[in-house]
Amino acid sequence: MSLLLLGIETSCDETAAAVVAGGRRIRSNIISSQIELHQPFGGVVPELASRKHLQNINPIIGEALREAGVGWGDLAGIAVTHGPGLVGALLVGLTVAKALAFARRLPLVAVNHLEGHIYANYLAHPSLEPPFIALVVSGGHTDLVHVLGHGEYHPLGQTRDDAAGEAFDKVARVLGLGYPGGPLLDAAARGGNPQAIDFPRAVLKDAPLDFSFSGVKTAVLNYHNQQRQRGKEINVADVAASFQAAVVEVLVDKTLLAAKTLSLDKVAICGGVAANSALREHFRIRGAEAGLEILSPPPILCTDNAAMIAAAGYHRLKAGCFAPLDLNAVPNLPLIGGK
Ligand code: KG4
Ligand code: ZN
């Protein structure tokens, strides 16, 4: 019988718990979003996020077990995100997971949130096996990774400044679209012309697989200010579509270059920005042209969830990587080389 893991995720503004069988099959996936709480502030307020996690975590875990139809005695372990993320937010999930592991005598498994994002692809594609290229695009990270095996990663490229999601969120704010910026900009861009404005694409000749999004972000800001100074109307849909096209082009180009360089024919995209409709569409078209298999989780598994944490935890559990009960939160935990 497949081992059942409870996953717990509270690294940012989603309180989530899930039960996953054999690291691949979702039995329940409960996500409580805090969007309404943070909306008036235009972004995540860390202190409020922690307090809301505290209120929600126990009921969410109860719901995850109930929906999966399992009791504590059926579980083989508890997997929890210990970084990267907001320290106060991480500590809520971590403390609850440690207390439950101790009280229920279950093994505790520490999961890196970024590794969790990669594992969302194993949930969505049950026959997926390494090696493959992963593009992790979230609110805090933009990483190109060679996935060699379970828990075995080789870094290929990363952002030198803003993460892709961060750029989406900042540009959405400039355009008055509000929070959460990424999905709102995605929606606004649907009615716009992606060729209306030629925003810059950073190439970075010395490290072709690295990214930089601060230039395109500043270009949008400058364009916005210039238009306003000239008293001209800003076509929000066109600006959104043109900005999105610039970011998507760079993400797709560099990912395909990585696959070509390493002679790999499988690419998995993940993280919140992987929910972006233009990014998914361009990967589909360009991947097919290049003869690559492009994998992506459904949007609900791209953004933060606990099923991906349970999936990543399963492989750690099988490898005997148990966490001690004094496990701490690591806000800047890197995907590679972190403990
Ligand atoms: O992975 P995630 O849920 O949380 C982090 O680990 O950061 O990613 C959140 C990021 C935010 O920047 C959000 O604006 C972006 O993903 N995002 C999107 C879309 N949905 C979420 N960006 C562009 N288009 C979307 N549809
Ligand atoms: Zn995330």
Q: What is the pLDDT along the chain (339 residues), one digit of tens a residue?
A: 799 999 999 999 999 999 999 999 999 999 999 999 999 999 999 999 999 999 999 999 999 999 999 999 999 999 999 999 999 999 999 999 999 999 999 999 999 999 999 999 999 999 999 999 999 999 999 999 999 999 999 999 999 999 999 999 999 999 999 999 999 999 999 999 999 999 999 999 999 999 999 999 999 999 999 999 999 999 999 999 999 999 999 999 999 999 999 999 999 999 999 999 999 999 999 999 999 999 999 999 999 999 999 999 999 999 999 999 999 999 999 998 765
Ligand 2 centroid to Cα of residue 2, in Å, is 26
Please report how many Cα atoms fall inside a 13 Å half-sphere around the Cα of residue 219, on the Cβ side.
18
Distance 39 CA to ligand 1 centre (A): 15
**How much distance in Å is there from the Cα of 233 to the middle of ligand 2?**
35
Which residues of the chain are in CATH 3.30.420.40 domains?
Answer: 4-119+302-318, 130-297
The dihedral of CA 95, 97, 101, 103: what is its sign?
A: positive
Please state which architecture CATH assigns to domain 4-119+302-318: 2-Layer Sandwich (3.30)
Contact present, 48 and 88 (Cβ < 8 Å): no
Does the predicted model carry a pTM greater than 0.75? yes
Residue 138 Cβ contacting ligand 1 at under 6 Å: yes
Which ligand 1 atom sits nearest the alpha carbon of residue 113? 6
Which residue's CA is minimally distant from atom 24 of ligand 1?
276
CA atoms within 13 A on the CB side of 40: 2
Helices and strands (H, E) in the chain, number of each type? 11, 10
Query: Side chain identity at 56, as an amino acid letter?
Result: N
Do 278 and 189 touch, CB atoms closer than 8 A?
Answer: yes
Per-residue pLDDT, 339: 58
Q: How far is the CA of 276 from the centre of ligand 1 (A)?
A: 8
- Ligand 1 proximity of 186 Cβ (cutoff 6 Å): yes
116 lines ligand 1 (CB under 6 A): no
pLDDT at 337: 77
Q: Is the dihedral of CA 92, 96, 102, 103 positive or negative?
A: positive
In contact, 244 and 185? CB cutoff 8 Å: yes
Q: How far is the CA of 219 from the centre of ligand 1 (A)?
A: 21
| DSSP secondary structure, 37-62, as one string | HHGGGTS--HHHHHHHHHHHHHHHHH
Q: Edge-to-edge strand order for the sheet containing 293-295?
A: 152-158, 142-149, 132-137, 266-270, 293-295
What local confidence, expressed as pLDDT, does residue 279 receive?
98
Q: Is the C-beta atom of 30 inside 6 A of ligand 1?
A: no
**Residue 298 DSSP label:** -
Site to probe by mutation for ligand 1, drawn from 174, 247, 303, 309 as the one with most ligand atoms within 8 Å of Cβ, is: 303
- In short, whether 287's Cβ falls inside 6 Å of ligand 1 is no
Give residues with Cβ within 8 angstroms of 4, minimum separation 6. Answer: 19, 20, 21, 27, 68, 70, 74, 75, 76
- CATH for 130-297 (3.30.420.40, 3.40.630.10, 3.40.50.620, 3.40.50.300): 3.30.420.40
Query: Cα(219)–Cα(223) distance, rounded to whole angstroms?
Result: 6
| Nearest protein CA to atom 21 of ligand 1, as residue | 272
